[in-house]
């Protein structure tokens, strides 16, 4: 992605230490407040279009499978799961049926707002560990979800992206993003040795998921 100007340049790799060194990216770390500015949305879309129109990556990242696999891992480890996990899995199936996941382009798949670095007239994205071929609607929905976009911001986002008809899909996919974040927390509870309150992390996004599902009126 460095060749496209949307990611940091490679500097060195030390396999013995599993250490990858990339260039320092100067600029301002994005925030939800900055991300909701129309000028920033346009820059984000410009960057995403470059990514989504680039050559295919290796591998596939399916957020639906990630969620299911995280739940299975937690069950195997006898780790924490939300008490209504079966309802959540039913919700997931409903979303999957409606969205018809289409992994057709290179995607970042971890567009936390803080992974966007603004530098004058462009944006560079960091943290590419989850990048793979996937559904571009996930990247768009994650920007919206993490940027706390309202309807007007989503309209601008999709108009700039050139696919305003995706508005309803993005609302559905935002629920998937929220549940994928819950699943990430569930995975960390099961396997992480880091002292961090992953349960609270999962519960916060679980509440966001429920609110999104309620707004979508999906059972």
| pLDDT given for residue 219 in this prediction | 57
Percent of the chain's residues with pLDDT above 70:
97
Give the list of residues 6+ apart from residue 141 with CB closer than 8 angstroms, or none: 170, 173, 174, 176, 177
Q: Give per-residue pLDDT as tens, 64-97.
A: 999 999 999 999 999 999 999 999 999 999 999 9
Give all domains of the chain, ordered by start, each with its CATH number.
29-216 (3.90.1200.10)
Give the list of residues 6+ apart from residue 131 with CB closer than 8 angstroms, or none: 57, 61, 106, 107, 108, 109, 110
Looking at the whole model, is its pTM more than 0.75? yes
Distance (Å, rounded) from C-alpha 11 to C-alpha 22? 5
Q: CB of 190 within 8 A of CB of 79?
A: yes
Give the list of residues 6+ apart from residue 60 with CB closer than 8 angstroms, or none: 103, 132, 133, 134
Residue carrying structure tokens 């957020």: 63
End-to-end CA distance of the chain: 39
| pLDDT given for residue 19 in this prediction | 83
Query: Residue 217: helix, strand or coil by DSSP?
Result: coil
Q: CB of 52 within 8 A of CB of 2?
A: no
Q: Give per-residue pLDDT as tens, 97-131.
A: 999 999 999 999 999 999 999 987 889 999 999 99
């Amino acid at each position: 992605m460095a060749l496209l100007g949307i990611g940091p340049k490679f500097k060195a790799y030390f396999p013995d230490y599993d250490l990858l060194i990339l260039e320092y990216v100067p600029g301002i770390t994005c925030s939800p407040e900055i991300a909701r500015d129309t000028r920033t949305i346009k820059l984000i879309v410009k960057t995403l279009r470059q990514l989504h129109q680039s050559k295919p990556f290796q591998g596939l990242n399916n957020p639906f499978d990630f969620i299911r696999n995280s739940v299975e891992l937690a069950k195997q480890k006898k780790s924490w799961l939300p008490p209504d996990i079966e309802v959540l899995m039913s919700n997931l199936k409903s979303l999957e049926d409606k969205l018809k996941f289409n992994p057709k382009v290179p995607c970042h798949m971890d567009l936390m707002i803080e992974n966007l670095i603004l530098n004058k007239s462009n944006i560079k994205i960091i943290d590419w560990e989850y990048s793979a071929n996937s559904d571009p609607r996930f990247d768009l929905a994650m920007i919206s979800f993490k940027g706390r976009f309202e309807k007007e911001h989503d309209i601008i986002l999709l108009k700039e992206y050139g696919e305003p008809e995706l508005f309803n899909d993005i609302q559905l996919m935002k629920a998937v993003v929220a549940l994928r974040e819950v699943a990430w927390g569930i995975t960390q509870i099961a396997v992480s040795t880091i002292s961090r309150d992953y349960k609270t992390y999962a519960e916060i996004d679980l509440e966001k998921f429920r609110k999104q599902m309620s707004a979508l009126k999906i059972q």
